[in-house]
Amino acid sequence: MVPTRPLSEVVSEFCGHALLLRMVRIHVVIGGVGRLVPLLVLLSALSSPLAAEDPSLIISRFQEYLRINTAQPKPNYRQAADFILAQASSIPLESKSFEFVDGKPVVILKWPGTNPRLPSVMLYSHTDVVPVEQSKWDHPAFGAHVDQEGRIFARGSQDMKCVGMQHLEAVRQLKRSGFEPVRTVYIVFSPDEEIGGHDGAGKLAESEVLREMNVGVVLDEGLASPNEKYRAFYGERSPWWLVIKATGAPGHGAKLYDNAAPENLFKSIETIWRFRTSQFDMVKAGLKAEGEVISVNMAFLKAGTPSPTGFVMNLQPSEAEAGFDVRVPPIADPVSLERRIAEEWAPISRNMTFELKQKIAVHDHHGKPIITATDSSNPWWALLEEGVRKANGLIGKPEIFPASTDCRYFRLLGLPAIGFSPMANTPILLHDHNEHLDKAEYLKGIKVFESIIKTYTSFVGDSSKESFRDEL
């Protein structure tokens, strides 16, 4: 009787490919060297589709996503959702689309883990982008042009279509390699972030959909880093959109008198600018990071009496308004700031009023800063650092994001949410003219996410101690 060996044993010796070992379930007769050579040819043929994918195809898919015009105020969400669902099918991944608000799809892709009882990993990105002034761009903002230096020019190349596609590509490569996650992975594409996220992440955070996902950690957007170290964010500044209004009696354009509306408004602007300067000086001196100070920037200035040819020039207006984008870090005292606004920036004694058109909470309902822990109480931070290190990357010290992201909706639920966009040695160009990302840096970021996803989804830990989900 000729001895037989399972093909899986031979494959283990000569190939060691995990996916092939799971797929092959047949036996062959090993009768000498003559039989071995055809077998190796067979193994080579079977394993060749799993070779590294052509980078040009990966870049092409990124360009296709960038060319979908999802700029506010009229983003083409449907085309973006169809593209994402097609990508999910090609990987393949389970997929669902929800519209908590009509016309604003939230697309959720699922890669089931081997232990669905463990809290899942959510990879989050938003599909909308900010408007463009095309005349200020060197290339079409939705053309995804690649120049001779390998830079991809497009709105969303940094903020944040790059991250959404890197999530997809990382999972695609991990599945091709045969990796099986212990924890379930969700890849979420949400609308509306650039106008506050209320109809996207806000509605998702309130929904039964999120509760059924059993999320343990969220990875959302970060910022490009001008140096070799990636940046990671544990909190963010909350937007307070402040409008100050001054009133007074109208007067002749030639008359000098006290307490005119424009005069009172400019007194307030001077006070605000002194405060702004004091905050900015701490950043310039290196005493604080940008995300740690209160920023104030003027958004509009409005006064005057309109006429068919412009404005009435011999009439001092009875009203004057100014709008400010104020960003408040979670380490600031919001009560003190609001008192400053009422007493110094818009005092009623100067016939002034103020309104906060938007006031995002700085503290949770317990009065604690809305931040994600970076110490040993949160294993996900250390695991992020580990994943980056395994991909031969460097990561800087934890930061507060200088603007706002959809992370805040998940942090309010008690979930650890980390902002991270793997773009090193890259100028910060979100919302800027000629936004671009080097294609080599984009491809490197995919490898970083592969490492992070493997590290996160292989972590078992003690799910009974994941108390950060108590708020859900």
**Is 17 labelled as part of a ligand binding site?**
no
Of 169, 192, 193, 399, which is the active-site residue?
193
3-state secondary structure of 115: coil
Using alpha carbons, select from 408, 453, 438, 402 the residue that is nearest to residue 223: 402
Active site residue 149: no
C-alpha distances (whole Å) from 349 to each of 261, 284, 345 are: 12, 35, 11
Residue labelled with tokens 């308004």: 321
**Is 9 labelled as part of a ligand binding site?**
no
C-alpha distances (whole Å) from 354 to each of 72, 245, 347, 348, 350 are: 28, 6, 9, 9, 12
Q: Which residues pair with 123 in a beta bridge?
A: 187, 219
**Is 94 labelled as part of a ligand binding site?**
no
Active site residue 128: yes
Using alpha carbons, select from 193, 159, 218 the residue that is nearest to residue 427: 159
Contact at 8 Å (CB) between 152 and 177? Answer: no
**Is 159 labelled as part of a ligand binding site?**
yes
Q: Give CA–CA dist 19/457, Å, rounded.
A: 18
Of 128, 169, 441, 450, which is the active-site residue?
128
**Is 126 labelled as part of a ligand binding site?**
yes
The token pair that represents 322 in the structure block: 């100014």
Q: What is the DSSP string of 366-378?
A: TS-B-----STT-
Q: What is the DSSP string of 56-114?
A: HHHHHHHHHHHTS--BTTS--HHHHHHHHHHHHHHTT-EEEEEEEETTEEEEEEEE--S
Centre a 10 Å sphere on the Cβ of residue 333 and count the other Cβ atoms it contains. Answer: 13
Catalytic residue set: 128, 193
Known binding-site positions: 126, 159, 194, 221, 431
Known binding-site positions for Zn(2+): 126, 159, 194, 221, 431
